[in-house]
Amino acid sequence: MPDAGRMVTIEVVQGDITRQAVDAVVTAANESLLGGGGVDGAVHRAAGPRLAEAGARVAPCAPGDAIATPAFDLPPPVQHVIHTVGPVWEGGGRGEADVLVSCYRRSLEVADELGVRSVAFPAIATGVHGFPVEEAARIAVTAVAAADTDVALVRLVAFDPETHAALTDHLHRHLTG
Ligand code: AR6
């Protein structure tokens, strides 16, 4: 019997990552895992103060790595927050793209260790960290598609229309080869 292989379904939505009905939500954190602005601020507000306490116990998280905690007060079915630290954009010549690829890959490895089937990602590093949206969208789609994972559904959540358009475009390009 040929092995059909595992296939991750990738979808793109525009919205708030704290309102996604998935098993695990990824946040674009900093190395302290204590919370911050942007999507990380939203995730920490929704999960409650225990998220920072749990983050502090497992920190630091290096750029490109990912660490899970419980999701605390995030609404069901969300059970886990996967904290990943994206690269700070310094012009592109300092390995920023490789670090961003690693964020997606490591987050999905952690998701596999947790046994989760659905994961929502924000557009890691494209806010405060300044990574160009177009290139980040291409990396998000290609890194997820290339991942060797048991996760069945990856939802790429854009907060703004520009990011939504970039992710939609790169997903379409990927699917049509
Ligand atoms: N849901 C989905 N996406 C969101 C939300 C939300 N509720 N809020 C913002 N975004 P950023 P970074 C988008 O700056 O660049 C923090 O202080 C946002 O529009 O959150 O990786 C951390 O603690 C953008 O498209 O993350 C770190 O110190 C994307 O999320 C630092 O910022 C990422 O923007 C991480 O910076």
> What is the reported pTM?
0.97
> Which domains does the chain possess?
9-176 (3.40.220.10)
For 53-77, the pLDDT digits (tens) are 999 999 999 999 999 999 999 999 9
| Active-site residue, 40 included | yes
Across the range 25-41, mean pLDDT stands at 98
Q: Average pLDDT over the chain, rounded to whole?
A: 96
State if residue 103 touches ligand 1 by the CB under 6 angstroms criterion.
no
Residue 112 has pLDDT above 80, yes or no: yes
Percent of the chain with pLDDT strictly greater than 90: 95
Instruction: Identify the pLDDT of residue 2.
Output: 47
The atom of ligand 1 lying closest to the CA of 16 is 1
Backbone angles phi, psi at 156, to 5 degrees: -90, 115
Tell me what the mean pLDDT of segment 2-31 comes to. 90
- Strand residue runs (E) in 1-78: 9-14, 24-28, 66-70
Residue 130 alpha carbon, nearest atom of ligand 1: 15
Distance 159 CA to ligand 1 centre (A): 9
pLDDT digits over 85-97, tens only?
999 999 999 999 9
Query: Candidates 128, 156, 162: which one to mutate for ligand 1, based on the most atoms within 8 Å of Cβ?
Result: 128
pLDDT of residue 127: 98
- What's residue 3's pLDDT? 47
| Residue spans of alpha helices (H) in the chain | 38-47, 50-58, 96-114, 133-146, 161-176
CA of 175 to the centre of ligand 1 (A): 27
| Phi, psi for residue 173 in degrees, rounded to 5 | -60, -40
Residue among 3, 16, 23, 40 flagged as catalytic: 40
* Helix pair 96-114, 133-146: axis angle to 10 deg: 40
Residues 144-162: tens digit of each pLDDT: 999 999 999 999 999 999 9
- CA-wise closest residue to 54 among 78, 71, 37, 74: 71
Q: Band of the pLDDT at 5, cuts 50, 70, 90?
A: low
